[in-house]
């Protein structure tokens, strides 16, 4: 079978050269259409709800803050995981969404559902920053704190901060 294919290729050289050129052109075209990221974000969309209730025990916060927030967020669409942590004075509820869910859609839906939560006076839930795992790598490598808002050129960041840190 291979010998027969080689005989046909030698007889029809021009056809096989055109076929090879077409394959190369298709490969170059598909390579130009490929999106390439230096540090792709492979994590799912996450929304973190943070609530402060200073001066109260973890059990109180669990009953009065965390559970009502979890109940209010039960009907959020595309959620694949819900996790909550409660410590002295702090409640953190994390929602993980299905792959492909838009970050801003997820945040908007969570904000809409949070309005329905029955919370004690003085508790205002806020959303954590919209940062994925890639953004956290950049923040830690650059030495920025979570509250800093600095616009950094990607090439400068890669050459000046991340390359030396990875050596």
Question: How far, in Å, are 52, 53, 56, 64, 153 from residue 60 at the CA level?
Answer: 12, 10, 6, 6, 46
Specify the pLDDT at position 107: 92
Closest-CA residue to 124 (of 60, 46, 49, 73):
49
Specify the pLDDT at position 144: 56
Q: Is the pTM of this model over 0.85?
A: no
Specify the pLDDT at position 103: 87
pLDDT digits (tens, 9 = 90+) for 96-119: 999 888 888 999 999 999 988 889
Closest-CA residue to 88 (of 57, 46, 119):
57
Please name the helix (run of DSSP H) or strand (run of DSSP E) that holds residue 141, with its range, or none: helix 133-142
Domain limits of the chain?
2-33, 46-133
pLDDT digits (tens, 9 = 90+) for 21-56: 999 999 999 988 887 766 666 778 889 999 998 888
| 46-133 CATH choice from 3.30.540.10, 3.90.1150.10, 3.30.70.1430, 3.40.50.720 | 3.30.70.1430
**Higher model confidence: residue 22 or residue 164?**
22
Specify the pLDDT at position 9: 85
């Amino acid at each position: 079978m291979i010998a027969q294919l080689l005989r046909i290729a030698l007889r029809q050289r021009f056809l096989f050269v055109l076929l090879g050129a077409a394959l190369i052109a298709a490969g170059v075209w598909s390579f130009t259409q490929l999106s390439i990221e230096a540090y792709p974000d492979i994590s799912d969309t996450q929304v973190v709800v943070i609530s402060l209730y200073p001066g109260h025990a973890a059990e109180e916060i669990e009953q009065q803050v965390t559970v009502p927030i979890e109940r209010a967020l039960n009907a959020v669409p595309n959620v694949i995981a819900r996790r909550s942590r409660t410590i002295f004075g702090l409640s953190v509820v994390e929602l993980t969404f299905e792959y492909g869910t838009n970050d801003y859609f997820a945040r908007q839906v969570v904000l809409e559902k949070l309005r329905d939560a029955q919370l004690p006076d003085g508790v205002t839930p806020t959303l954590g920053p919209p940062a994925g795992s890639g953004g956290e790598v950049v923040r830690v490598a650059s030495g920025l704190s979570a509250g800093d808002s600095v616009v950094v050129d990607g090439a400068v960041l890669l050459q000046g901060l991340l390359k030396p840190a990875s050596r």
